[in-house]
Amino acid sequence: MTYNHYPKCAIACIWLFANSITVLIAQPAIPMPDTVSGNVIDLTLANSSKQFFNGFNTSTIGYNGSYLGPTIILNKGQEVTMNVHNNLSDTTTTHWHGLHVAPMNDGSPHNPILPGTTWSPGFTVMDNAATYWYHPHLHGKTLNQVLLGAAGLIIVRDPEEEVLTLPRRYGFDDFPLIFQWQHFDAASKQIILDDVADNTTLVNGVVAAPYLNVPAQVVRLRILNASSRRFFEFGFNDNRSFKQITSDDGLLNAAVSMTRLMLGSGERAEILVDFSGQEGNTFFIKQFGSELPAGYPGGDVGMMGGTLGPLDNKDFNLLQFNVVASTSNPVTTMPGALTTNVVYPAAGAANFNVRITGFPMMSQTNFTFNGVQYDPAVINMTTNQNTIMTWTITNQSMMPHPFHIHGNHFYVLSIDGATPPANLRGRKDVVIVPPFGGTVKLITQYLDFGDPDIPYMFHCHILSHEDGGMMGQFIVNPSTTGIQKLENDNKIFAYPNPAQNYINIKLNSAVSIISKVVIVNTMGQTVYSHQFDSAVIQASTQHLINGSYFINVFSGNHVLTQKLVIE
Ligand code: C2O
Ligand code: CU
Ligand code: CU
């Protein structure tokens, strides 16, 4: 694991001219989260505290620090083992939001990490270059743990993105921006664990419209809405246009010019902003809450009624950009074409219908899918590996819901029957379903990781809704053609076998921890060797030529062997 430190800027004073009154205010710079990379990533989740407001210690939790977590940088095709140490007094999980991993590696409510223990999923990074994130996902505790600070970004790089002329120097022309809404108690400045009356916005954990120095050139902003409930309607104070280059899980076909960007909870977007020739000037990225449709959290309450939070339906500055001297080798041009997204063919796809309703009907807090609340013991839907699925989500409630599916990206086919706008036509994993009968149709296909036992989740990414039961789960059964799960006399449980790019291995005794996996070819040569500390692991077999091998699985002082076929 490599661990890089970026300058944590101190407090700076700037002159701010507001309504022709000159006010001297102390305004903080936002930090760039540290980065971690390599084949082994260590994350420690622990209780901490942070001074968001001078003189007040606010209780928090963070990954490897007091609030939020390091940015994990991964390369497509690499193997990674994540060691997630839980030093909280509570159980937790850590979910790799947007990554295409097996259900057992996903960090869903089915992968609990007990206090004082370490969870070590290992997997191959199969995703396209984009900005993903990680956060806890324990049922009923997600809102609490995320709002207290447990969240971080994942940046995936790949060779296709690498050859485009885009800013990609982290902290210099490529800036991660984690936007959040929080509700701080007025007197104690503690984080209130609800999302009803949020009164503060933060960027990278800093409150009250902090600043960021940006060079006078094209810069890339990787934006995450990590709030529980509220939407952002982003724009600049000078109404400049900017270009969106990615949706949640990958590049768009071409950069999309826009002056406003709406993100619901859990959504990400990378945008390019051209500050060329503007050295010495100051700009703001703003929340245009007054422009959100009525009923969208952060906008007007609309027909939902209920409480208007202190910053709802308002326009205000989120982050100030001070344009400074350009870097060496600046990017000065905006790209056009970026990639070709190939949408799955819809003909003959199996369809899932998901109907969103209030529970009871007029409830403003509790919602269900198809009339049922989440039950960990109930599998709501079942599909098969390789089956193309469309999902038709109909929202019969009075508010929008950011709908999220685990395990794979999807494409949005239509929103209220119409082709989605260009910036929603790339790979996505969260989609906003409009209220009052709004319908979204999406399409996806799970080519890997069939697991008859562990489901993937789908849920509303408004965390209070998710914790309240607006979540379901589906099983992707392993394909029966060619790829089969193989049971081996109560010993090794390895699937698929024959394998192609990876093999999942667990020992049939649930308590056995796998410490090492060694794969040898028929000549006895070691072709794969990797250490683990986990009950379930995934080994990459991408580099193995077709043929027969033996897997040796080490646990304590035992080693178990099984034949493996690579096809
Ligand atoms: Cu970001 Cu299931 O969540
Ligand atoms: Cu997710
Ligand atoms: Cu919801």
Q: What band does 5 get if pLDDT is binned at 50, 70 and 90? A: very low
> Measuring CA to CA, which residue among 368, 396, 32, 399 is closest to residue 195?
399
Q: Which ligand is nearest to the CA of 93?
A: 1
pLDDT tens by residue, 170-229: 999 999 999 999 999 999 999 999 998 999 999 999 998 899 999 999 999 999 999 999
Residue linked to tokens 């949706």: 247
CA distance 206 to 212: 11
| 471 CA: nearest ligand 1 atom | 2
Q: Which helix (H) or strand (E) holds 367?
A: strand 367-369
Distance between Cα 133 and ligand 2 center (Å): 8
DSSP labels, 259-272 = S-EEE-TT-EEEEE
pLDDT at res. 542: 84
**CA-based nearest residue to 270, from 155, 406, 101, 125:** 155
Cα(533)–Cα(516) distance, integer angstroms:
8
Distance CA 160, CA 3 (A): 25
Q: For residue 99, is pLDDT > 90?
A: yes
Closest ligand to C-alpha of residue 459 is 1
Ligand 2: centre distance to CA 429 (Å): 7
For residue 418, give every residue at least 6 positions away whose Cβ sits within 8 Å of its Cβ, in sequence order, or none.
none
pLDDT at 2 over 90: no
Q: How far is the CA of 198 from the centre of ligand 2 (A)?
A: 23
- Work out which ligand 1 atom sits closest to the CA atom of 135: 1
Summarize the confidence of residues 259-277 as an average pLDDT.
98
Q: Which two tokens stand for residue 111?
A: 């992968």
The mean pLDDT of the chain is 90
Residue type for position 112 = P
Average pLDDT of the segment spanning 99-108? 96
Residue 266's pLDDT band, with cuts at 50, 70 and 90, is: very high
pLDDT at 540: 85
Closest ligand 1 atom to the C-alpha of 98?
A: 1
Spacing, Cα 107 to ligand 2 middle (Å):
9
Residue 486 has pLDDT above 70, yes or no: no
Residue 321 has a pLDDT of 97
Residue 269 has pLDDT above 70, yes or no: yes
The sign of the CA dihedral 26, 27, 32, 34 is positive
Ligand 1 atom closest to the Cα of residue 97 is: 1
d(CA 548, CA 38): 30
Cα–Cα distance, 392 to 422 (Å, whole number) = 20
pLDDT of residue 526: 78
pLDDT value at position 207?
95
If you measure from the C-alpha of residue 79 to the centroid of ligand 2, how many angstroms do you get, rounded to a whole number? 20
CA 262/CA 268 separation, integer angstroms: 10
With beta carbons less than 8 A apart as the criterion, state whether 504 and 495 touch: yes
Residues lining ligand 3 (ion), CB within 5 A?
401, 460, 462, 465
Kindly report the length of the chain: 567
Is residue 13's pLDDT more than 80?
no
- Determine if the peptide bond prior to 496 is cis (ω within 30°): yes
Shortest-distance atom of ligand 1 to CA 406: 2
Q: Which atom of ligand 1 is nearest to the CA of 108?
A: 2
Distance 97 CA to ligand 2 centre (A): 4
Q: How far is the CA of 302 from the centre of ligand 1 (A)?
A: 27
Distance CA 51, CA 28 (A): 12
Instruction: Please name every residue paired with 177 in a beta bridge, in sequence order, or none if there are none.
Output: 223
pLDDT for 510:
55
The DSSP bridge pattern shows strands 388-395 and 350-358 to be: parallel
Going from the Cα of 322 to the center of ligand 1, the distance in angstroms, rounded, reads 34
Ligand nearest to the CA of 403: 3
| Count of Cβ atoms closer than 10 Å to residue 478 Cβ | 19
Greater model confidence, 303 or 453: 453
What is the band of 364 on the pLDDT scale with cuts at 50, 70, 90? Answer: low
Using alpha carbons only, what angle is made at residue 2 by residues 169 and 99, rounded to the nearest 5 degrees? 70
pLDDT attached to residue 297? 95
Q: What is the DSSP string of 175-191?
A: EEEEEEEE-B-TTT-PB
Query: In angstroms, what is the span from residue 30 Cα to ligand 1's centroid?
Result: 25
**Closest ligand to Cα 135:** 1
Please report which residue ranges of 420-501 form alpha helices under DSSP H.
Answer: 463-467
Sorting pLDDT into bands at 50, 70 and 90, what band is 363? Answer: low
Cis peptide before 360 (omega within 30 of 0): yes
Those residues whose beta carbon sits under 5 angstroms from the ion ligand 2 are: 97, 406
User: What does the pLDDT average to over 29-42?
Assistant: 97
- Residue whose Cα lies nearest atom 3 of ligand 1: it is 97
Q: How many CB atoms lie within 10 A of CB 325?
A: 11
For ligand 1, the distance from its centroid to the CA atom of residue 448, given in whole angstroms, is 20
Q: Please give the C-alpha separations between residue 523 and each of 224, 467, 539, 553, in angstroms, as whole numbers.
A: 50, 53, 20, 18
Which residues line the pocket of ligand 1, CB cutoff 6 A? 95, 97, 135, 137, 266, 404, 406, 457, 459, 461
Report residue 148 CA to chain centroid gap.
Answer: 17
Measured from the CA of 266, which atom of ligand 1 is nearest? Answer: 1
Nearest-angstrom CA–CA distance, 82 and 41? 5
pLDDT at 22: 38
State the average pLDDT over residues 278-299. 97
Residue 524, pLDDT score = 67
Closest ligand 1 atom to residue 133 Cα is 1
Q: Whose CA is nearest to atom 1 of ligand 1?
A: 97
Residue 149: closest CA among 228, 33, 61: 61
